[in-house]
Amino acid sequence: MWTADEIARLCYEHYRISLPKQGKPEPNREWTLLAAVVKIQPIADQTWDSPDKLVRVTKEVVSMGTGTKCIGRSKMRKSGDILNDSHAEVIARRSFQRYLLHQLHLVAALKQDSIFVPGTQRGLWKLRPDLLFVFFSSHTPCGDASIIPMLECEDQPCCPVRTDWANNPSMDASGNLKPEDKRKCEGPDSPVTKKMRLEPGTPATEVANGVAHHQSFGNQESGPIPPNVSSSNLTSGELAAVTGMAPGGARVVDVHRTGAKCVPGEAGDSRMPGVAYHLVGLLRVKPGRGDRTCSMSCSDKVARWNILGCQGALLMHFLEEPIYLSAVVIGKCPYSQEAMQRALIRRCQNVSALPKGFGVQEVKIQQSDLPFEQSRCAVQAKRADSPGRLVPCGAAISWSAVPEQPLDVTANGFPQGATKKEIRSLQARSRISKVELFRSFQKLLSSISEDKWPDSLRVRKLETYQDYKEAASTYQEAWSALRKQAFGSWIRNPPDYHQFK
């Protein structure tokens, strides 16, 4: 039907052709991440000469997002008009919700052809049975899926750096720069990548714009499993990551690391040099630059979508069953199938007692061999000795397959270029912000006669965004089961951030 390379190529072409220059990285100076949702649909009127014949399909990008940033807790707003999380995966999913709202409007209000067909209950719709959706990301999701073994045989960026931290007053015992020295290193005259020297054979930390990217320099002796790493829930591949040997016999010298921090209330990372630096399987929050965020890691969010669906609570009012992803495709980057399976599926595989229609999905996970041309690694390789720092692009692009204003370019959670004076105006809202998606939902509701509303919208008078979310009872029941059984430490925004109308 399709291959991982076909999905990646389609998304890269769509990025080049359909997305404007505005919001894309500045050449040789910036990088970004890319994510998208691709609709897969069999071609009609195919002849079935033999049972082994491959089904021919059409592939269409229906949503796309770029971005690497999220705002700190102090910048969150109770009016719902700012994007808290602008990582590419989240932008692509919110853009997908905009596409779904449009498709529901087509079928429910305009009686036109759509991806939805009538469900068995009044006011409810379901996805056409021949359709499926594939999620693409140019890099592994931040958080648990990005904690992967680094093998001795992997290409290393330079020769080992050997410095004893005990003789370096700028470092603490765990190999990290002391706060006052870290601030010095983050000045405007610092090199593109600042390397914190650790003891022999341990990784050097590359810090760019507040996000740590770790790479291994040199070898590390394998040893017993550290006492703070539980082996009870590790597969053979994951156990290899902490014992020092990969299944193929290659030595595991370190792990690729994530900047996402463990949530309060969960066991923290050991931060020990080498393979034991991180604990795996934990919930994490995205890092902030001085101002801690409330945004869960993309690994955690994708795992949640794998049980609750991508549609969210509001759209569940109109749907008989959740909208699930059939597959996740990752572009060329450091990758571990073990880590992806653990982060997206296995952490939640024992969640049970879910309402009808909800379940843990065995999503297909694949990697493409095609790199994204504006990824950090690709830009770094092309720029060679170019002067200046390599930094993540500050803008995020949203694109949805909708007829009116499909594009949305934001920075710091608001439309790019919006002034402080404009921020409270309607023009200074992203089309995928909570308040704007809520307005689209209300517009859909007002276009349908009340006698055709689903039962969940008839129980009582609903006014606020929070009211409508809470009234989606089956979704809330599934979310409650997931929190109780697997994601108990999930950070939730206080209810007063959802009281807008």
Q: Which residues are catalytic?
A: 89
Under a CB-based contact definition with an 8 Å cutoff, are residues 323 and 311 in contact? yes
Residues 345/303, Cβ–Cβ less than 8 Å: yes
DSSP conformation class of 225: P
Q: Is 103 helix (H, G, I), strand (E, B) or coil?
A: helix
CB within 8 A of 262, min separation 6: which ones? Answer: 268, 269, 279, 282, 283, 284, 285
Of 160, 164, 161, 191, which is closest to residue 175 (Cα–Cα)?
Answer: 164
* Sign of the dihedral defined by the CA atoms of residues 426, 431, 436, 442, in that order: positive
CA 40 – CA 398 distance, rounded (Å): 20
57 phi and psi, to 5 degrees?
-130, 160
Of 266, 267, 227, 255, nearest to 338 (Cα)? 255
Q: Give the whole-angstrom CA distance, residue 64 versus residue 97.
A: 11
CA 326 to chain centre: 16
Query: Can you say how many angstroms the Cα of residue 398 is from the centroid of all Cα atoms in its chain?
Result: 14
Token pair recorded at residue 487: 């994601």
Sign of the alpha-carbon torsion through 367, 372, 376, 379: positive
Owner of token pair 């071609």: 43
Distance, CA of 105 to CA of 96 (rounded, Å): 14
Tokens of 322: 């959740």
Backbone φ and ψ for 212, nearest 5 degrees, come out as -85, 130
- Alpha-carbon span 126 to 128, nearest angstrom: 6
Residue with token string 């880590």: 339
Sole residue written with tokens 């990551």: 241
How far, in Å, are 21, 109, 141, 283 from residue 343 at the CA level? Answer: 34, 39, 9, 10
